Amino acid sequence: PANISVWWNFGSLLGLCLGAQILTGLFLAMHYTSDIATAFSSVAHICRDVNYGWLIRNMHANGASFFFICIYLHIGRGLYYGSYLYKETWNIGVVLLLLVMMTAFVGYVLPWGQMSFWGATVITNLLSAVPYIGNSLVQWLWGGFSVDNATLTRFFAFHFLLPFVIAA
């Protein structure tokens, strides 16, 4: 058909990127420890001591950026061709976009450096703006009154499981 163009490749690229992210994530998870005392050291261990660990980590981090580029181009194609008129399909895409963004955010926190700790605190604190239940929601997500070991463990579990939910 005349309307099929290069823009229709990005859905397939999204599947390829997701597969690569899951594969590299599995290899990274084999060496990562989700404990606040050793998380940063385990990332350094992956980069320094694991065979091609630096490559796997860089493929995972940069693959996430490429994944988002493909997502935005896929959304752009959908807007251009009026795919938003198919409400059910479009709404599923919006839910998938939110899941991917949530997965990326909790993954950003995992190295447990100064900026990721700050990001976890500030972004999750936005939930406190929800009327009536906001503070309870933040404490439930954190697993206590501050970002701590329970938060990191939960974020690792979410980051590990959500790509499989997205792929399903």
CATH code reported for the domain at 7-167: 1.20.810.10
Q: Say how many Å lie between the first and final Cα of the chain, rounded.
A: 29
pLDDT digits (tens, 9 = 90+) for 98-152: 999 999 999 999 898 888 888 889 999 999 999 999 999 999 999 989 888 999 9
- Length of the chain in terms of residues written: 168
Please name which of 66, 73, 78 lies closest in space to residue 17, comparing C-alpha atoms.
66
Backbone Cα Rg of the chain: 18
The answer, yes or no, to whether residue 36 has pLDDT greater than 70, is yes
CA nearest to 11, candidates 87, 88, 93 = 93
- State what percent of residues in the chain have pLDDT above 90: 76
Is 112 in a helix, a strand, or coil?
coil
Dihedral angle computed from the Cα positions of residues 80, 90, 130 and 167, in that order, rounded to the nearest 10 degrees: -110
Helix or strand or coil: residue 104? helix
- Scanning the structure block, which residue is given the tokens 């009536």? 132
* pLDDT value at 81 more than 80: yes
Reported as a pLDDT band with limits 50, 70 and 90, residue 5 is confident
* DSSP notation for 126-165: GGGGSTTTHHHHHHHHHTSSSS-HHHHHHHHHHHHHHHHH
pLDDT of residue 45: 96
What residue spans define the domains of the chain?
A: 7-167
Say if residues 167 and 18 touch (Cβ distance below 8 Å).
yes
Predicted local distance difference test score (pLDDT) of residue 1: 65
